[in-house]
Structure 1
Amino acid sequence: MKKIIAAVFLAGLTVQVSAQSGTNSPYSQYGLGALASQATGFNRGMNGLAYGFHEHNQVNYMNPASYASVDSLSFIFDAGVSLQLTNFDENGNKVNAHNADIEYVAASFRVFKHVGVSFGILPYSNVGYNFSNTQNVNAFPSTSSPNATYSNIYSGNGGLHMVYLGAGWEPFKGIAFGANISYLWGTLNRSSTNTYSDSYVNTLSKNYTAQVKSYKVDLGAQFTCPINKKNELTLGLAYSLGHNLGAEPECSIISTNSQTSVSDTTRYVVSKAFEIPQTFGVGLMWNHNNRLKFGVDYQMQKWVKIQYPQLITINGKTSYSLVDGQFTDRHKLTVGGDYCKGERYRGFFSRMHYRGGVSYATPYLRINGQEGPRELSASFGVGIPIINGYNNRSMLNISAEWVNQKAVGLIKENTFRINVGLTFNERWFAKFKVE
């Protein structure tokens, strides 16, 4: 089993590095792309609810203080995949797209009393789109055809990923602190091509590329207060450091003569570009008798002051430089819960977990001077215990998620996603007696 887990982890790492993006959204052409969820399988059943949860048998990356609660006898390994179908609606024109992606690979175990560690690989953002539009040309030079058309083709791929190592420590009963340190990397590729059916007009292409190699730091804390013998409240706090990623994005403008196929290329480079925002999170979780857990999370990402490179032409002079006003602060509110009759019961259905959650999030993007699409989402999930002669501690987490994104005058998106996460819980550190 240990060899299988190690092989799955390495395979997940390889696939994450080379995999296609986990999105088809045209909104991923802006900023750092479509922001990915860092929730693992059990969190996704509650639509990403995480800050107040400290489970002994699950990996909760979103608050590293939770690692301190990991069972002392276990090695927990968690891997998840997703399958999604998205419907795009623009002025009554509807298109469907689907994809699948390996979402995350994570592991956790206890190293000392009250100290747990975790490591794994997670997505940060995804870029993936390909669309075009064709229109008639209203005014052309006299040499052109009266029925000439022009087409704009847009495509992009890539995204940012992170490998992390984290630790959680509980110095006093009910008080825990934690931190994640991540290596953040990835490539963002975007292009737009303007072509004309008339052979007298040049083809113009703009290619945007950037490589990111940086770091990410996340801090967390949890404070648990017993109310009585059957009830307790946990306050969870999280903070992510915002900083410049030091990337050097490049923009290449290629003008190709349609008759001679001769190209002229102009390149622009911006130094010390791209930033990740400061992120603040707070959550409250109520635990009733270890059966019903209900919580609420609030997250704010400070994007509004972050600059982003943009191609600008003023008085016939073109430049590629950092500009303001491309982003806005993002706020997200999540409510959800988990119910299980009790893990100490032997019955299969008694050990099932039933989860649900809803979220509302404002955008971090500004598109054509207005805020991007707001997001409303909901999920329902189950945790299915794996019970056999070899292992009765592992769990299969399955959830269905619906995400709606819309804004006035912009494309509407409806996404239906299936998340599947498999949590191996192995008793690697148990001491056995021989008689």
Structure 2
Amino acid sequence: MLAQNATITPKINSPFSRFGLGNFISQYYAGPGGMGGLSAAFQDPYLLNTLNPASLASLQATAFEVGLNAQYSGLKSDGASEGIWSGNLDYLALGFPLINPINEVLDRKRSGLGLGMAFALQPYTVVGYNIESTSVQEELGPTTNYLKGTGGTNRLMWSNALRYKGLSGGFTFGYMFGQLTNSRRVEFDSLELAYVTEFLDEVSLNGFFWEAGLQYTHDFKKLNAEGERESSGRRLTVGLYGNSTDNFNTNTRRFAERYSFDFNVQDT
């Protein structure tokens, strides 16, 4: 059987999310994302950066962040084109210092020790598509395939960090979970007594992972009027981070269903 012509009309989100775990969502928070993804060395007293958990040791106040995204995709085939708007939650995160910086102000003494902690919930991948594909085949005539997918994966994370003077280290322990649903329905438009066939795959997955990072900050000094060395206001920060492999458990359920609109017959 040879297809003579075909048209694809995407309905929502992205048809490319059909493959693998779906479309990956950016893991950058507002701070490092606004600096071009400079997450390895990014640290801020009021902004979160869980990609390198070592940065949490620099927090000076409680920070709560919510990330949202919007995306416009242009899709085009031989006979049709369509623009699609989509959006999603990027992250929910709460971070705070474990050593109160107000005490340093009251004592008029700066400690070289810093501790920070954060909790975060982040979508990791998203599946969302609704595709209608029509083709004309020599033996069966017009045939329509309906492809639909929903779901995604999420990550729940707990991060801790320790800083001593200019050196910081951090560790994240996380749990990934989610469910992906993909379905395909085939209809033979020109065959009156033909059954409609639908295939449904449901994949549930879960697993643990870890991430770790280091940062080092060097403060440049200068001589003041009394000849003493003091901070010049300039500093250099370098960082690195890594993570475990994404090992997770999966549970797959597959269903096949046939039914007829003409005879009200269903076979699962």
When the two structures are superposed, what TM-score results if normalisation uses the length of structure 1? 0.50
Cα distance change of structure 1 residues 84 and 150 upon mapping to structure 2, 3 Å threshold: same
Equivalent position to 2:149, from 156, 175, 180: 156
Q: Are the equivalent residues in 2 in contact too, given 1:37–1:48 (CA < 8 A)?
A: no
Distance 1:125 1:80 in 2: 15
Larger radius of gyration: 2
Q: Are the equivalent residues in 2 in contact too, given 1:51–1:238 (CA < 8 A)?
A: yes
Pairing of 1:352-431 with structure 2 (within 5 A)? none
Distance 1:47 1:25 in 2: 24
Distance 1:192 1:234 in 2: 51
Q: Which residue of 1 aligns with 2:105?
A: none
Distance 1:27 1:47 in 2: 25
CA positional deviation for 1:233: 3.0
Amino acid at match of 1:58: L
Q: Which residue of 1 aligns with 2:240?
A: 237
Deviations 1:356-378, CA, capped at 9 Å, x for gaps: xxxxxxxxxxxxxxxxxxxxxxx
Q: Which residue of 2 aligns with 1:167?
A: 160
Q: Kindly, what percent of the aligned residue pairs are identical?
A: 25
Q: Which residue of 1 aligns with 2:97?
A: 110
Q: Are the equivalent residues in 2 in contact too, given 1:64–1:219 (CA < 8 A)?
A: yes
Q: Which runs of 5+ in 1 are unaligned?
A: 1-22, 141-147, 266-435
Q: Which runs of 5+ in 2 are unaligned?
A: 1-11, 100-112, 222-231
Q: Which residue of 2 aligns with 1:246?
A: 249
Q: Which has the higher contact order (CA 8 A, sep 6+)?
A: 2
Equivalent position to 1:177, from 151, 154, 169: 169
CA positional deviation for 1:77: 1.1
Deviations 1:53-78, CA, capped at 9 Å, x for gaps: 0111101011100001101xx21111
CA positional deviation for 1:158: 0.8
CA positional deviation for 1:90: 2.8
Distance 2:87 2:157 in 1: 23
Distance 2:83 2:211 in 1: 36
Q: Which residue of 1 aligns with 2:120?
A: 120
Distance 1:188 1:201 in 2: 29
2:175 is equivalent to residue 200 of structure 1: no
CA positional deviation for 1:163: 1.9
Q: Are the equivalent residues in 1 in contact too, given 2:89–2:123 (CA < 8 A)?
A: no
CA positional deviation for 1:36: 0.9
Q: Which residue of 1 aligns with 2:138?
A: 138
Distance 2:36 2:244 in 1: 24
Distance 1:94 1:48 in 2: 32
Distance 1:199 1:43 in 2: 59
2:53 is equivalent to residue 64 of structure 1: yes
2:75 is equivalent to residue 83 of structure 1: no
Q: Which residue of 2 aligns with 1:360?
A: none
Distance 2:182 2:46 in 1: 41
Equivalent position to 1:260, from 249, 257, 263: 263
Pairing of 1:25-40 with structure 2 (within 5 A)? 25-40=14-29
Deviations 1:6-46, CA, capped at 9 Å, x for gaps: xxxxxxxxxxxxxxxxx811111111111111211222323
Q: Are the equivalent residues in 2 in contact too, given 1:201–1:258 (CA < 8 A)?
A: no
Deviations 1:223-250, CA, capped at 9 Å, x for gaps: 2234664543322211121143111112
Distance 2:66 2:129 in 1: 26
Q: Which residue of 1 aligns with 2:85?
A: 98
Equivalent position to 2:216, from 190, 211, 223: 223
Amino acid at match of 2:137: V
Amino acid at match of 1:151: T
Q: Are the equivalent residues in 2 in contact too, given 1:199–1:258 (CA < 8 A)?
A: no
Cα distance change of structure 1 residues 222 and 92 upon mapping to structure 2, 3 Å threshold: farther
When the two structures are superposed, what TM-score results if normalisation uses the length of structure 2? 0.79
Q: Are the equivalent residues in 2 in contact too, given 1:65–1:176 (CA < 8 A)?
A: yes
Q: Are the equivalent residues in 2 in contact too, given 1:164–1:183 (CA < 8 A)?
A: yes
